[in-house]
A and B are shown apart, each in its own frame.
Chain A
Protein backbone atom coordinates (compact mmCIF):
# COMPACT_ATOMS: atom_id res chain seq x y z
CA UNK A 1 0.00 0.00 0.00
CA UNK A 2 1.33 3.43 -0.86
CA UNK A 3 1.82 5.90 1.97
CA UNK A 4 0.39 9.38 2.21
CA UNK A 5 -2.66 11.34 3.26
CA UNK A 6 -5.17 12.77 0.84
CA UNK A 7 -5.43 16.53 0.76
CA UNK A 8 -8.56 18.09 -0.63
CA UNK A 9 -11.11 16.62 -2.97
CA UNK A 10 -9.78 14.44 -5.79
CA UNK A 11 -10.75 15.36 -9.32
CA UNK A 12 -12.01 12.59 -11.58
CA UNK A 13 -11.78 12.53 -15.34
CA UNK A 14 -13.60 9.89 -17.34
CA UNK A 15 -11.52 8.22 -20.06
CA UNK A 16 -13.81 7.35 -22.95
CA UNK A 17 -12.09 8.92 -25.95
CA UNK A 18 -8.88 10.32 -27.38
CA UNK A 19 -9.88 13.77 -26.24
CA UNK A 20 -10.26 12.50 -22.66
CA UNK A 21 -6.61 11.40 -22.69
CA UNK A 22 -5.72 15.03 -23.49
CA UNK A 23 -7.98 16.16 -20.61
CA UNK A 24 -6.23 13.78 -18.20
CA UNK A 25 -2.87 15.29 -19.19
CA UNK A 26 -4.20 18.79 -18.59
CA UNK A 27 -5.70 17.90 -15.20
CA UNK A 28 -2.47 16.22 -14.08
CA UNK A 29 -0.37 19.15 -15.27
CA UNK A 30 -2.50 21.67 -13.35
CA UNK A 31 -2.28 19.57 -10.19
CA UNK A 32 1.49 19.03 -10.56
CA UNK A 33 2.01 22.79 -10.89
CA UNK A 34 -0.19 23.39 -7.81
CA UNK A 35 1.96 21.12 -5.60
CA UNK A 36 5.09 22.69 -7.08
CA UNK A 37 6.72 19.69 -8.64
CA UNK A 38 9.88 20.67 -10.51
CA UNK A 39 9.54 21.16 -14.26
CA UNK A 40 11.26 17.84 -15.00
CA UNK A 41 9.05 16.01 -12.49
CA UNK A 42 5.92 17.64 -13.94
CA UNK A 43 7.00 16.50 -17.39
CA UNK A 44 7.68 12.95 -16.19
CA UNK A 45 4.35 12.70 -14.37
CA UNK A 46 2.29 14.10 -17.25
CA UNK A 47 4.06 11.75 -19.67
CA UNK A 48 3.39 8.75 -17.40
CA UNK A 49 -0.25 9.84 -17.06
CA UNK A 50 -0.57 10.07 -20.82
CA UNK A 51 0.73 6.51 -21.28
CA UNK A 52 -1.51 5.09 -18.56
CA UNK A 53 -4.61 6.98 -19.71
CA UNK A 54 -4.09 5.64 -23.22
CA UNK A 55 -3.74 2.11 -21.82
CA UNK A 56 -6.97 2.57 -19.87
CA UNK A 57 -8.70 3.59 -23.10
CA UNK A 58 -7.21 1.05 -25.48
CA UNK A 59 -6.71 -2.05 -23.34
CA UNK A 60 -9.20 -1.39 -20.55
CA UNK A 61 -11.97 -0.28 -22.89
CA UNK A 62 -12.23 3.03 -21.06
CA UNK A 63 -12.39 3.96 -17.40
CA UNK A 64 -11.37 6.88 -15.27
CA UNK A 65 -8.46 8.78 -13.75
CA UNK A 66 -8.74 10.19 -10.24
CA UNK A 67 -6.17 12.88 -9.51
CA UNK A 68 -5.45 14.04 -5.96
CA UNK A 69 -2.80 15.85 -3.98
CA UNK A 70 -1.23 13.91 -1.12
CA UNK A 71 1.24 14.51 1.68
CA UNK A 72 3.47 12.23 3.74
CA UNK A 73 4.11 14.95 6.33
CA UNK A 74 7.38 16.00 4.75
CA UNK A 75 6.62 16.26 1.07
CA UNK A 76 3.61 16.87 -1.12
CA UNK A 77 2.80 14.86 -4.16
CA UNK A 78 0.31 14.04 -6.86
CA UNK A 79 -1.46 10.70 -6.88
CA UNK A 80 -3.38 9.35 -9.85
CA UNK A 81 -5.57 6.26 -9.83
CA UNK A 82 -6.39 4.78 -13.24
CA UNK A 83 -9.26 2.31 -13.10
CA UNK A 84 -11.00 0.24 -15.74
CA UNK A 85 -13.37 -2.71 -15.78
CA UNK A 86 -11.69 -4.23 -18.80
CA UNK A 87 -10.31 -7.72 -19.40
CA UNK A 88 -7.44 -7.39 -16.90
CA UNK A 89 -3.82 -8.40 -17.50
CA UNK A 90 -3.21 -12.18 -17.53
CA UNK A 91 0.60 -12.01 -17.27
CA UNK A 92 1.64 -8.95 -15.32
CA UNK A 93 5.40 -9.61 -15.45
CA UNK A 94 5.24 -9.86 -19.20
CA UNK A 95 3.12 -6.71 -19.49
CA UNK A 96 5.71 -4.81 -17.45
CA UNK A 97 8.53 -5.87 -19.77
CA UNK A 98 10.04 -3.22 -22.05
CA UNK A 99 8.97 -3.72 -25.62
CA UNK A 100 6.10 -6.11 -24.90
CA UNK A 101 2.85 -5.08 -26.56
CA UNK A 102 -0.42 -6.60 -27.63
CA UNK A 103 -1.75 -3.38 -29.08
CA UNK A 104 0.70 -2.56 -31.86
CA UNK A 105 2.38 0.18 -29.85
CA UNK A 106 5.98 0.38 -28.75
CA UNK A 107 5.42 -1.60 -25.57
CA UNK A 108 6.81 1.20 -23.43
CA UNK A 109 3.58 2.42 -21.88
CA UNK A 110 3.44 0.40 -18.67
CA UNK A 111 7.17 -0.18 -18.13
CA UNK A 112 8.07 3.36 -19.14
CA UNK A 113 5.38 4.94 -16.96
CA UNK A 114 6.66 2.94 -13.98
CA UNK A 115 10.14 4.42 -14.42
CA UNK A 116 8.78 7.97 -14.58
CA UNK A 117 6.97 7.96 -11.20
CA UNK A 118 8.08 7.42 -7.59
CA UNK A 119 5.41 4.93 -6.48
CA UNK A 120 3.70 2.48 -8.81
CA UNK A 121 1.06 -0.01 -7.75
CA UNK A 122 -0.92 -2.24 -10.07
CA UNK A 123 -3.84 -4.51 -9.26
CA UNK A 124 -5.41 -6.56 -11.95
CA UNK A 125 -7.78 -9.51 -12.21
CA UNK A 126 -8.68 -11.28 -15.42
CA UNK A 127 -12.25 -10.44 -16.39
CA UNK A 128 -12.59 -7.77 -13.70
CA UNK A 129 -10.30 -4.96 -14.67
CA UNK A 130 -7.12 -3.12 -13.75
CA UNK A 131 -6.33 -0.39 -11.25
CA UNK A 132 -3.01 1.42 -11.38
CA UNK A 133 -1.98 3.92 -8.71
CA UNK A 134 1.00 6.19 -9.26
CA UNK A 135 2.48 8.94 -7.10
CA UNK A 136 5.11 11.56 -7.80
CA UNK A 137 6.57 13.43 -4.81
CA UNK A 138 8.07 16.88 -4.62
CA UNK A 139 11.76 16.95 -3.69
Chain B
Protein backbone atom coordinates (compact mmCIF):
# COMPACT_ATOMS: atom_id res chain seq x y z
CA UNK B 1 0.00 0.00 0.00
CA UNK B 2 1.23 3.48 -0.87
CA UNK B 3 1.51 6.13 1.81
CA UNK B 4 0.95 9.83 1.30
CA UNK B 5 3.84 11.91 2.75
CA UNK B 6 3.11 14.71 5.23
CA UNK B 7 5.50 17.68 5.23
CA UNK B 8 5.92 20.17 8.06
CA UNK B 9 6.47 23.79 7.02
CA UNK B 10 6.66 26.11 10.00
CA UNK B 11 3.37 25.79 11.86
CA UNK B 12 1.62 24.03 8.99
CA UNK B 13 1.39 20.43 7.83
CA UNK B 14 1.29 20.13 4.06
CA UNK B 15 -0.12 17.08 2.34
CA UNK B 16 0.16 16.97 -1.41
CA UNK B 17 -1.72 13.97 -2.75
CA UNK B 18 0.15 12.83 -5.85
CA UNK B 19 -1.19 9.30 -6.30
CA UNK B 20 -4.53 7.79 -7.24
CA UNK B 21 -5.29 6.67 -3.69
CA UNK B 22 -6.86 3.36 -2.83
CA UNK B 23 -9.47 3.58 -0.07
CA UNK B 24 -6.99 2.03 2.34
CA UNK B 25 -4.35 4.67 1.53
CA UNK B 26 -6.94 7.38 2.24
CA UNK B 27 -7.82 5.91 5.63
CA UNK B 28 -4.12 5.59 6.47
CA UNK B 29 -3.58 9.27 5.61
CA UNK B 30 -6.39 10.19 8.00
CA UNK B 31 -4.66 8.35 10.85
CA UNK B 32 -1.14 9.58 9.97
CA UNK B 33 -2.34 13.19 9.92
CA UNK B 34 -4.03 12.98 13.30
CA UNK B 35 -0.80 11.63 14.80
CA UNK B 36 1.34 14.29 13.15
CA UNK B 37 -0.93 17.12 14.33
CA UNK B 38 -0.54 15.95 17.92
CA UNK B 39 3.19 15.20 17.60
CA UNK B 40 4.06 18.56 16.02
CA UNK B 41 1.44 20.82 17.63
CA UNK B 42 0.79 22.37 14.23
CA UNK B 43 -2.29 24.59 13.97
CA UNK B 44 -2.85 24.31 10.25
CA UNK B 45 -3.25 21.51 7.70
CA UNK B 46 -3.17 22.15 3.98
CA UNK B 47 -4.29 19.35 1.69
CA UNK B 48 -3.25 19.96 -1.88
CA UNK B 49 -5.41 18.04 -4.36
CA UNK B 50 -4.08 19.68 -7.53
CA UNK B 51 -2.95 16.30 -8.83
CA UNK B 52 -6.25 14.53 -8.14
CA UNK B 53 -8.31 14.12 -11.28
CA UNK B 54 -11.31 12.87 -9.36
CA UNK B 55 -12.75 13.19 -5.86
CA UNK B 56 -15.38 10.54 -5.28
CA UNK B 57 -17.64 10.16 -2.26
CA UNK B 58 -15.03 8.17 -0.35
CA UNK B 59 -12.25 10.74 -0.75
CA UNK B 60 -14.78 13.53 -0.13
CA UNK B 61 -15.78 11.91 3.12
CA UNK B 62 -12.11 11.47 4.05
CA UNK B 63 -11.50 15.21 3.53
CA UNK B 64 -14.49 16.06 5.75
CA UNK B 65 -13.32 13.64 8.41
CA UNK B 66 -9.79 15.05 8.38
CA UNK B 67 -11.22 18.56 8.79
CA UNK B 68 -13.31 17.43 11.78
CA UNK B 69 -10.46 15.51 13.41
CA UNK B 70 -8.02 18.39 13.04
CA UNK B 71 -10.58 20.84 14.44
CA UNK B 72 -10.87 18.71 17.57
CA UNK B 73 -7.06 18.74 17.75
CA UNK B 74 -6.97 22.56 17.46
CA UNK B 75 -5.86 22.73 13.85
CA UNK B 76 -7.51 24.33 10.83
CA UNK B 77 -7.77 22.37 7.56
CA UNK B 78 -7.79 24.00 4.14
CA UNK B 79 -8.18 22.00 0.94
CA UNK B 80 -6.44 23.66 -1.99
CA UNK B 81 -6.03 23.18 -5.72
CA UNK B 82 -9.32 21.58 -6.67
CA UNK B 83 -9.64 21.32 -10.44
CA UNK B 84 -12.71 22.92 -12.06
CA UNK B 85 -13.90 19.60 -13.51
CA UNK B 86 -13.61 18.00 -10.07
CA UNK B 87 -15.67 20.80 -8.51
CA UNK B 88 -18.40 20.42 -11.15
CA UNK B 89 -18.49 16.66 -10.65
CA UNK B 90 -18.59 16.90 -6.86
CA UNK B 91 -21.61 19.18 -6.94
CA UNK B 92 -23.44 16.93 -9.40
CA UNK B 93 -22.57 13.87 -7.33
CA UNK B 94 -24.36 15.59 -4.46
CA UNK B 95 -21.36 15.85 -2.19
CA UNK B 96 -21.17 18.93 -0.02
CA UNK B 97 -17.76 19.10 1.61
CA UNK B 98 -19.15 19.90 5.04
CA UNK B 99 -16.91 21.90 7.33
CA UNK B 100 -14.13 22.11 4.76
CA UNK B 101 -12.47 25.40 3.97
CA UNK B 102 -11.05 25.71 0.49
CA UNK B 103 -8.56 27.97 -1.24
CA UNK B 104 -7.41 28.12 -4.83
CA UNK B 105 -3.75 27.38 -4.10
CA UNK B 106 -1.27 26.59 -1.33
CA UNK B 107 -0.26 30.23 -0.89
CA UNK B 108 -3.84 31.40 -0.32
CA UNK B 109 -4.42 28.42 1.93
CA UNK B 110 -1.52 29.52 4.13
CA UNK B 111 -2.91 33.07 4.22
CA UNK B 112 -6.29 31.72 5.24
CA UNK B 113 -4.80 29.72 8.11
CA UNK B 114 -2.68 32.68 9.25
CA UNK B 115 -5.74 34.96 9.13
CA UNK B 116 -7.92 32.57 11.09
CA UNK B 117 -5.27 32.29 13.83
CA UNK B 118 -5.14 36.10 14.06
CA UNK B 119 -8.95 36.23 14.24
CA UNK B 120 -8.84 33.81 17.15
CA UNK B 121 -6.55 36.22 18.99
CA UNK B 122 -8.73 39.20 18.15
CA UNK B 123 -11.83 37.48 19.39
CA UNK B 124 -10.24 36.61 22.70
CA UNK B 125 -12.23 38.13 25.59
CA UNK B 126 -10.82 41.30 27.13
CA UNK B 127 -8.88 42.18 24.00
CA UNK B 128 -9.83 45.83 23.61
CA UNK B 129 -7.29 46.59 20.93
CA UNK B 130 -9.22 44.41 18.51
CA UNK B 131 -12.36 46.51 18.96
CA UNK B 132 -10.62 49.81 18.42
CA UNK B 133 -8.83 48.62 15.31
CA UNK B 134 -12.11 47.24 13.92
CA UNK B 135 -13.61 50.73 13.62
CA UNK B 136 -12.40 52.52 10.48
Contacts and interface: CB of A to CB of B under 8 A. Distances in A.
B95 A44 contact: no
Interface stretch (B3-11, B72-80, B83-91, B101-109): B83-91
Contacts of A46: 53-54
B94 A108 contact: yes
Nearest to A19: B22
B23 A18 contact: yes
Given A18-B23, A111-B94, A115-B92, A25 B54 contact: yes
A81 interface: no
B18 interface: no
A106 B57 contact: yes
Contacts of A106: 57, 60-61, 95
B14 to A, nearest CB: 24
B20 interface: yes
Interface in A1-51: 18-19, 21-22, 25-26, 29, 39-40, 42-44, 46-47, 50-51
Contacts of A29: 53
Contact of A108 (B23, B83, B93): B93
Main SS of chain B's interface residues? Answer: helix
A128 B20 CA distance: 32
Interface residues of A, number: 27
B44 to A, nearest CB: 26
A125 to B, nearest CB: 26
B93 A112 contact: yes
B95 A18 contact: no
B58 interface: yes
Most buried by A among B24, B55, B85: B85
A112 B95 contact: yes
Interface of B: 20-24, 53-58, 60-61, 83-86, 88-89, 92-95
Given A44-B88, A50-B54, A116-B93, 5 more contacts: A18-B23, A29-B53, A47-B55, A47-B93, A108-B95
Interface of A: 18-19, 21-22, 25-26, 29, 39-40, 42-44, 46-47, 50-51, 54, 98, 105-106, 108-109, 111-113, 115-116
